[in-house]
Amino acid sequence: MIDAVSPQWTIQEQGGTLLVRLKGVWKLMLLHEERQKIEKKLAADLDSKRAIWDLNDVQAIDSAGAQLLWRLWRNHPPLRLDCSPEHKRWFERLDTLDLPPRPPRPLWWPLIELGKFLAEFARDTGRAFLLIGQLIVDLIYSLRHPRRMPWKEISASIYHTGATAIPLLGLVSFLVGIVMTIQLAVELEKFGQNLLIVQTLGLAILRELGPVITGLIVVGRTGSTIAASIASMHLTEETKALRVYGNTPSQRIVLPNVIGMAISIPLLVVWADFLGIVGGMITAKVRLGISYELFLERLPVAVPWINFWIGMGKGMLFGLIIATVASHFGLKAKPNTQSLQQETTNSVVTSLALILLLDSLMGALMTNIGLS
């Protein structure tokens, strides 16, 4: 410290009681080791005798200094205390200090939490249905009044969810195609059924992997963005401003995203299918010696077209789910940072769970379609 005069004290004995005089600067907040030494030494010097305290020569004292003295006095004002009124304020405050403990959790808090969770879940489900209803109303309204259809926002949504996802999605699908083929090739070679790779890979990618990978990537890229951006619009009161001008968040933000994703995700699925198969085809030639001509000739024969449409349908369904779920959690967020984080996470987790759940349901129900 610059003008530090270290804390000092002198003690005199006066007929059974001690007179303690303090001097110097008693700013102890940032003096970490010294503070403990001072407290020990002063306590030892006092030897738990009653004392009169003279703080008139103290140049400055901070809350840590005052608190240290207060603790030495065992949380009571000493026999007599001489000090300036400003310094006295510290001790008066400490004397009347309330220290309420952190409110304890009641024993049955798990029950309360469970109840809260269930109530919240029920409310969430209700709200989600309301949102879907609202979307249908908005859609019908917009179709009847095409000028009020949020065309620009739909186009922006297609660009943001679709176009910007192309590089990443392409890379991931290409790599999945390669990895799948490498691993299947080992087994197929054992049975000498090299050509089966066309059928296996084609079915897997068109029916399952294409739409699911697209869904997962869009959830991570766009679902989280939509939830967070709607939630942060609550923080800045933009959602209210929309309402003031006769628009609603569901009309202006949710509907365009739902329509946009229903269009862009099937298109992304086509892209994912394409690169997945290209990846597989290249690997099949290198690993199994299947020429491109043979691969392409076998593909439409071995994998019925219907599988492609199943994949596209799944993609569209996933798009609807991602956009609705993300908007739902974004709209439900409260205007604070903690709620924003929580609802963004909730939206991603719920979308992923719903996508995988629906995918396995459809997989189980449609075993007799498109699988020869």
Partner 1 sequence: MDEVQKNKNIIAVKKLTTRFGRRIIHRDLDLEVRRGEVMGLIGSSGGGKTVLMQHIMGLLKPASGSIELFGEAIEEMTSEEFRHIALRWGVLFQQGALFSAMTVFDNIAFPFRELKKYGEGVDDETMRQLVFLKLKMAGLEAEDAWKYPAELSGGMVKRAALARALALDAELLFLDEPTSGLDPIRSAEFDSLLLELRQEMQLSALLVTHDLESLALLCDRIAILDEGKVLATGTLEEVARLDHPFVKKFFETRPGEKRLRSIQH
Question: Is residue 116 near partner 1 by the rule CB under 8 A?
Answer: no
Question: DSSP string spanning 159-212?
Answer: IIIIGGGHHHHHHHHHHHHHHHHHHHHHHHHHHT-TTHHHHHHHHIIIIIIHHH
Question: Is residue 29 near partner 1 by the rule CB under 8 A?
Answer: yes
Question: Is residue 43 near partner 1 by the rule CB under 8 A?
Answer: no
Distance CA 224, CA 128 (A): 17
Give least dist CB 34 to partner 1, A: 11
Distance CA 63, CA 69 (A): 10
CB-nearer residue toward partner 1: 90 or 295: 90
**Six token digits for residue 76:** 């009571």
- Using CB under 8 A, which of 11, 17, 23, 35 touches partner 1? 35
CB-nearer residue toward partner 1: 194 or 342: 342
Give least dist CB 181 to partner 1, A: 47
CB-nearer residue toward partner 1: 34 or 82: 34
- Using CB under 8 A, which of 30, 43, 122, 168 touches partner 1? 30
Give least dist CB 233 to partner 1, A: 17
Contacts of residue 166, defined as CB under 8 A and 6 or more positions apart, other chains included, come to: 268, 271
- Using CB under 8 A, which of 41, 334, 357, 371 touches partner 1? 334
* 142 alpha carbon, distance to own chain's centre: 33
CB-nearer residue toward partner 1: 89 or 240: 89
- Which of 21, 84, 10 lies closest to 53, judged by CA? 21
Give least dist CB 93 to partner 1, A: 6
CB-nearer residue toward partner 1: 21 or 88: 88
- Using CB under 8 A, which of 63, 194, 229, 345 touches partner 1? 63
Strand partners, 58: 24
Question: DSSP string spanning 300-366?
Answer: HHHS-THHHHHHHHHHHHHHHHHHHHHHHHHHH--SSHHHHHHHHHHHHHHHHHHHHHHHHHHHHHT
Give least dist CB 346 to partner 1, A: 16
Question: Is residue 56 near partner 1 by the rule CB under 8 A?
Answer: no
Question: Is residue 67 near partner 1 by the rule CB under 8 A?
Answer: yes
CB-nearer residue toward partner 1: 25 or 275: 25
| Amino acid letter, 298 | R
Question: Is residue 104 near partner 1 by the rule CB under 8 A?
Answer: no
Which region holds residue 16: left if phi is over 0, alpha if psi is between -120 and 50, else beta? left
Residue 81: helix, strand or coil by DSSP? Answer: strand
Strand partners, 313: none
- Using CB under 8 A, which of 10, 291, 336, 360 touches partner 1? 336
Q: Which of residues 82-101 bind partner 1 (CB under 8 A)?
A: 86, 89, 93-94, 96-100
Give least dist CB 28 to partner 1, A: 9
Residue 122: helix, strand or coil by DSSP? Answer: helix
Residue with tokens 């697209």: 214
Distance CA 181, CA 204 (A): 11
Question: Is residue 74 near partner 1 by the rule CB under 8 A?
Answer: no
Contacts of residue 335, defined as CB under 8 A and 6 or more positions apart, other chains included, come to: 234, 235, 237
Question: Is residue 4 near partner 1 by the rule CB under 8 A?
Answer: no
Give the interface segment with partner 1, choosing from 8-16, 64-72, 137-145, 224-232 (CB under 8 A). 64-72
Question: Is residue 238 near partner 1 by the rule CB under 8 A?
Answer: no
Distance CA 289, CA 20 (A): 97
Q: Are 91 and 81 in contact (CB under 8 A)?
A: yes
Q: β-strands 8-14, 17-26: how paired?
A: antiparallel
Residues in contact with partner 1, total (CB under 8 A)? 28
- Using CB under 8 A, which of 42, 64, 196, 242 touches partner 1? 64
Residues that bind partner 1 (CB under 8 A): 2-3, 27, 29-30, 32, 35, 60, 62-64, 67, 71, 86, 89, 93-94, 96-100, 102-103, 334, 336-338
